[in-house]
Structure 1
């Protein structure tokens, strides 16, 4: 009696006997969490320890929005310096998919956007800036990274890896996205960097560590820097779409003042000794906006295929039909709210 397994074994032996390659089983597609971890940046965070608002450099550490144990955005400035607050390293991510590309957005959060002088610049509670990576689904397990758009305050900057087939579109490519090996896995990762205080984010070395700084490596664990000059700190990724995650909390008025804008006030000394303190002045990815560019508010995360097609010239184009994009289910509401939401100046 022949079973399915004995027939398969006989077929494999027959192929091998005549010198033909035996087909390998198709590899399982990586999960979205695996995709996000594979492409997550090695992240250079410049640190400034000067002034009381710096908290000895800790105000430049990346962390979770609930680092203080709650989802109240209006006490984050106040609690950043408390002994019980955790500044363990985390970054948020979301993944959107089409048949041609994966789009992975990363958010790096700081409890304070701060300054150490009294002139002209304001500071504010909460700070959310990040980067969107466009990965072509070329048949390999994790695809190939083609382009990136980063957020630095109220401006977007575009980057491509060396040798990318993507070139300047409506917006000029601003530089090269470099890669580096991680000591914590076998992959080469893109390298990003944030400035201290205001935390604008670009591809390294357009921002770079100048003196003290922390180098964060993507991982499945969250470490806290030993000091403001720690060059090997692992950060843990948090899915924006997870149950109870940022997207699920988007209507939580304690955390968000309005569409994609973190709630923040002037308590706890924000603005003391400086030009001033802004309120409700930081954004989640679905609130990121470059007012001088064509894409709408939040589309860097909510409609990254459209944004990519506008920022870059892409051979063969990109699919605009999403096979996975939880943002798109609320697209109409997001678009309507974006038209009336106040412009946030980060």
Structure 2
């Protein structure tokens, strides 16, 4: 007799259990791949960096004047004592580089900034030196659906000139500016990725794609990392540098109005104290730039736009199949775009 008030449960068989579990597994939704973080993007595309080093002359500090470091390497944010403090035995030359990531629907724009306490020379004729030095590179990465995208182009800063590069096989070609060379890649011993390779000259620290600038004699090879190592000597070929977000709370962008660090728009405060210019042609003041002060005066983009509006600069420098979006989905500079534009228009020129 069947009890109409109860559900009759048949005993499970092994075969039925397997089929049921398989169906359950198949119906579990696959989690969406998490979007890559800006810090991970910056680490992925950060350059392997070849820094030439000169150890001659008293201003070289046995090579330390060519080491990359942080703007507060001496424990403060006073730009006017960096030349002086670079000679102190208690300061840190742990390797750092600053980065920013801007986004549109079609591309990521990654800017890297390398800081030196001195731009120096070792002879008295025609060349000047100055306190602080800041040069760097912009990488443009296409958002092609892969985790880290595809690097399409680079623009480097060498004093008051920009130089443009594309990797082998890039679909980007010359725009208003001619392409100056090929951006090469190298595998890092500290991660599984092939990174773009850049180089800086000694003394003046102009930056280009390697090997247009590279190590001649002594030099440091810096590898991107999350730790900051200090070179053991002036010819150390494996030093890791730590990436620091320009937009971090209390970071470089947050200090943009600090008069001890910046004299005016993006120009580091620097003076002639501590022996800058001694035995040389001259020592200039307030002569180094943060990324929002970088400028190539002969080119159409305005001062700082290599960092603050890199989509605009890209359309000027390159011919881009399919074009690109000019609408930013992430650009912390944008909130002060009008003020930056006005400051760029009225600020005195800075010649690095």
- Counting only pairs closer than 5 Å after superposition, residues 98-113 of structure 1 correspond to structure 2 as 98-113=104-119
Work out which of the residue numbers 17, 23, 32 in structure 2 matches 1:10: 23
Query: 2-side partners of 1:234 and 1:223: how far apart?
Result: 5
- Where does residue 152 of structure 1 map in the other structure? 158
- Where does residue 173 of structure 2 map in the other structure? 167
- Where does residue 236 of structure 1 map in the other structure? 242
Q: Secondary structure at the match of 1:326?
A: coil
- Where does residue 299 of structure 1 map in the other structure? 305
CA shift digits 1:63-121 (9 cap, x unpaired) = 00000000000000000010111000000001100000000000000000000000000
- Where does residue 267 of structure 2 map in the other structure? 261
- Where does residue 60 of structure 2 map in the other structure? 54
CA shift digits 1:137-189 (9 cap, x unpaired) = 00000000000000000000000000000010000000000000000001000
CA-CA distance at 1:249 after TM superposition:
0.4
- The answer to whether 1:116 aligns with 2:122 is yes
CA-CA distance at 1:26 after TM superposition:
2.6
- The answer to whether 1:34 aligns with 2:47 is no
- Counting only pairs closer than 5 Å after superposition, residues 130-279 of structure 1 correspond to structure 2 as 130-279=136-285
- Where does residue 345 of structure 1 map in the other structure? 351
Q: What is the TM-score of this pair, normalised by structure 2?
A: 0.93
Query: 1-side partners of 2:159 and 2:21: how far apart?
Result: 59
Q: Secondary structure at the match of 2:141?
A: strand
CA-CA distance at 1:29 after TM superposition:
1.0
CA shift digits 1:11-58 (9 cap, x unpaired) = 6548xxxxxxx9853321111000000000000000000000000000
CA shift digits 1:186-223 (9 cap, x unpaired) = 10000000000000000000001000000000000000
| Unpaired segments ≥5 residues, structure 2 | 1-18
Q: Secondary structure at the match of 1:305?
A: helix
Query: 2-side partners of 1:25 and 1:167: how far apart?
Result: 38
CA-CA distance at 1:323 after TM superposition:
0.2
- Where does residue 293 of structure 2 map in the other structure? 287
- The answer to whether 1:332 aligns with 2:338 is yes
CA shift digits 1:318-340 (9 cap, x unpaired) = 10000000011110000001111
Report the count of equivalent residues: 334
- Where does residue 314 of structure 2 map in the other structure? 308
CA-CA distance at 1:7 after TM superposition:
9.7
| Unpaired segments ≥5 residues, structure 1 | 1-5, 15-21
- Where does residue 18 of structure 1 map in the other structure? none
Query: 2-side partners of 1:31 and 1:123: how far apart?
Result: 39
Deviant stretches of 4+, over 6 Å: 6-9
In our comparison, the structure showing a higher alpha carbon Rg is 2
Query: 2-side partners of 1:13 and 1:101: how far apart?
Result: 35
Distance 1:118 1:163, change over 3 A: same
